[in-house]
Amino acid sequence: MCGIFGYIGHQQALPILVEGLRRLEYRGYDSTGVAVDDGQSIQTHKTVGKVADLKAILPPSVQGTLGIAHTRWATHGGVTQVNTHPHASEAGTVHLVHNGIIENYQQLRKGLLKRGIECVSETDSEVLAHMIALEIESGSTPLESVQKTLRRLRGTWGLCILFKEHDLLVCARNGSPLIIGQGEGETFVSSDPHPLTTHTQRVVYLEDGDVALIKRDSFSITSIRGHAVEPSITVLEEAWGEAELGDAPHYMYKEIYEQPDALRQCIAGRVDREMGTGRLGGMGLDHATLVQAPHVRLLGCGTAAYAAEIGQTLIERMGRIPAVAHISSEFRNNDTVINPKAIYLAVSQSGETADTISAIKEIQLKGGQVFGVVNVVGSTIARLCGQGVYIHSGPEQSVASTKAFTNMVAALTIFATQLGRTRHLSKDDGRELIHHLQQAPHLMETYFEDTGPIGEAVDLLCDAQSVLFLGRGLSATVAKEGALKLMELAYIPCLAYPAGEMKHGPIALLEEGSPVVVVAPNDHLKEKTMSALHEVKARGAKVILIHEKGDSIAAEGDVSIAVPSIHPWLTPLLTVLPLQLMAYETALRLGRDVDRPRNLAKSVTVE
C-alpha cells in the first residue's frame, strides 16, 4: 500500500520526488508529503489529498539534491496533515517516511515520554524518528542509529531516512517492499519498481532485515546486526516503463482492452498443442511430483482469490485430485495442515500481498513447496518462492484488477492442463482445450467489437440499493469477481451467490426492480442456472443476463449481453469481460474515481 520515493544525486530532487509520487499514485493513498535537504536545512511539505494537491502547495522552487517522499495509506491515526509523513525528530535531525506497521509503538512511545519526548502525531511511525535521533545524539553514525533502533522494533517497515548535515540516505526493509535504483552519479529508492524505470533499469530489491546506506554514486547493504550483505542486481523489464495512459480515458479502460494482448503474452511458448498440454518451465515441476501430489492448495486475496477458486475447479476437473482455494489471511491463521508432498500455489498480481506472503512463510516453515503465480517480476513473492509462473500481464495500474485476473486464470488453466495430462486427461481433451485457449485472445477481441447493451445494464445498476450476482460452477466464481468489481468501483453493496444457494437466503432481498446479474454460459449447468433466473424474475427482479452468442436464453434477460462461445472450461475468460465493463461504466456514471476508488490500495502490503 502507499509508497516511498527517495533521491540523492546531481539533479534538483523535488521534481524527481513529485514525479516518483505521481507514478506511485495507482497504489492508493490518502495523504502525501515530501522533505528536501538543501545542505543547510530540511524543508518539509505535506497535505491530505492527492499528489496534485501537494504540487499546489509547493513553493515555486525548493533547492536541494537529496530528499524523501511518501504517499500514506493510514493504518494508525486519522487522515490528517499532522499524521502525514515525513515525520521528524524534535530538533529536526532526522526526517523519515515509513510504510508498514510498528506493532510495539505504544510501548516505544511510553519509553520516549519518560525521556520527555512527546509525539505530535497519532502514527506508529513517528516514534522511529525520535528513537533514531536519540541514537545520533549519543554518538552513533546514521547507519548505526538505524540498526540500533530497528533491533527494538516488532512489525513491518519500508523506511527511507534523511539526516540533517549528512549527505546520505538510510533505507531499511522488513515486510514492506523497497528497491534501490542505481543511476549515473545518482541513486533512487522506491517502494515499487514502476517509478524507477524512467531513471534506471539496474535495481536491487532489498530483502527483509536489510539496511542500506545510500550515497550519490554508491550504496552498501548490511543486516540489522551490521553484517555486510552482497547486493544482487536485477535488470528491470522495459515494459514496466511504458505504462502510460496514452489516449485512454482511464487505466482501467486501457487495461480491460489490453486483455487480448496480455493473454497472448501469458500463453506464448507455454502450451504444446500437439501433446495437448501445458509447459510451465519456471515451475520446475518434475513428473514424479505432479503424479504423486496428494492435493493442491491455492492462496490469494481479493481478485487473486477468485482466480485461485477458478484454478481449484479446473485442477480438480482435469487433474482429478482434490484442490482447495484459500483466502490467504484466513489460511495463515488457521494452522492448516501442510503436507510436504502437496503442491501450493500463491496467486498475487503485485507479488507483495502481505497476507499471502505470511501464508507462504508458514507453508515453507512446515516443509511445503510454494509456487508463485505472480505478475510483478522480482517481487517479494516471486523471490520468496523462487519458482512459479509469471502471468505477464504487463503493468496493471488501475486499483481494480482486470487483465491480471484473466491472465491468472489462463496461467492456472495451463497448470491444470499440465497436471491433468500427467494423470487422467486424454490427449484429445488436452488438445481441444489448448486449441480453445489459443483462440481466447481473438474471441476477446470479437467481444470488444460489440460489447452489447452495457449502457442499459448501467441504467439498472446505478440507482440500485444492492445488486445480486448469480452463477453456477465456474460462473459462480465469475459472479463473485463481477460483484467485487462493481462494489469496489461504484460503492454499491453487491452480493454474489452460487445460483443454487440463492433460495436459501439472498432471495429475501429481492423486490420489484432489484437488479440481478446472472452469468449463464452454455455449459452443463446452464439449465439449472436458468431455474434461478426464473425464480428471481417471479419476484419482480430485473435480470442482466450474460450468455453465449446465439443462445436462445437471450430472450430471458431484461438486458442480455452476449459473449462468444468457447470451451466450457474457459468461459470465465469471456464472461468476466462484460462484468468489468459494467463496473467501469457504472462507476463513471456515478462520478466515482475509477482508477483510484476510495479506501482501496493496489498492492496490500499490510496484514
State the residues that interact with ligand GLU by CB under 6 A: 1-2, 72-77, 83, 98-101, 123-125
Which runs of consecutive H residues, i.e. helices, occur in 42-104?
Answer: 51-57
Whether residue 301 lies in the annotated active site: no
Shortest distance, CB of residue 605 to ligand GLU, whole angstroms? 7
Q: Closest residue (Cβ) to ligand GLU?
A: 2
User: Collapsing DSSP states into helix, strand and coil, what is residue 238?
Assistant: helix
Using the minimum distance from each CB to ligand GLU, give the nearer residue, 124 or 210.
124
What pairing do the DSSP bridges indicate for beta strands 559-563 and 542-548?
parallel
Strand 277-278 relative to strand 271-272, pairing: antiparallel
Nearer to ligand GLU, 99 or 329 (CB): 99
**Residue whose C-alpha is closest to residue 128's, from 212, 221, 148:** 148
Q: How far is the CB of 122 from ligand GLU (least distance, A)?
A: 8
Selection from 237, 239, 238, 219 nearest residue 229 by Cα: 219
Of residues 47 and 312, the one with the C-beta less far from ligand GLU: 47
Contact of 19 with 27, CB cutoff 8 Å? no
Tell me, yes or no, if 2 is annotated catalytic: yes
- Name 591's Cβ contacts closer than 8 Å, sequence gap at least 6: none
Give the shortest CB-352-to-ligand GLU separation in angstroms.
12
Q: Which is nearer to ligand GLU, 3 or 430 (CB)?
A: 3
Query: Using CA atoms, how far apart are residues 480 and 85, in angstroms rounded to an integer?
Result: 36
Active-site annotation holder among 2, 160, 171, 301: 2
Of 46, 50, 542, 602, the catalytic one is 602
Instruction: Compute the distance between CA of residue 93 and CA of residue 134 in angstroms, rounded to an integer.
Output: 10
**Please, which residue, 104 or 364, has the CB nearer to ligand GLU?**
104
Q: Per DSSP, which regions of 140-257 are E strands?
A: 157-163, 169-174, 179-182, 187-190, 202-205, 210-214, 219-223, 228-229, 233-235
Least distance to ligand GLU, CB of residue 150, Å:
15
CB 473 within 8 A of CB 314: no
Of 98 and 403, nearer to ligand GLU (C-beta) is: 98
Closest by alpha carbon to 8, among 130, 162, 116? 162
Element (H, E) at 29: none
Q: Are 9 and 17 in contact (CB under 8 A)?
A: no
User: What is the set of active-site residues?
Assistant: 2, 602
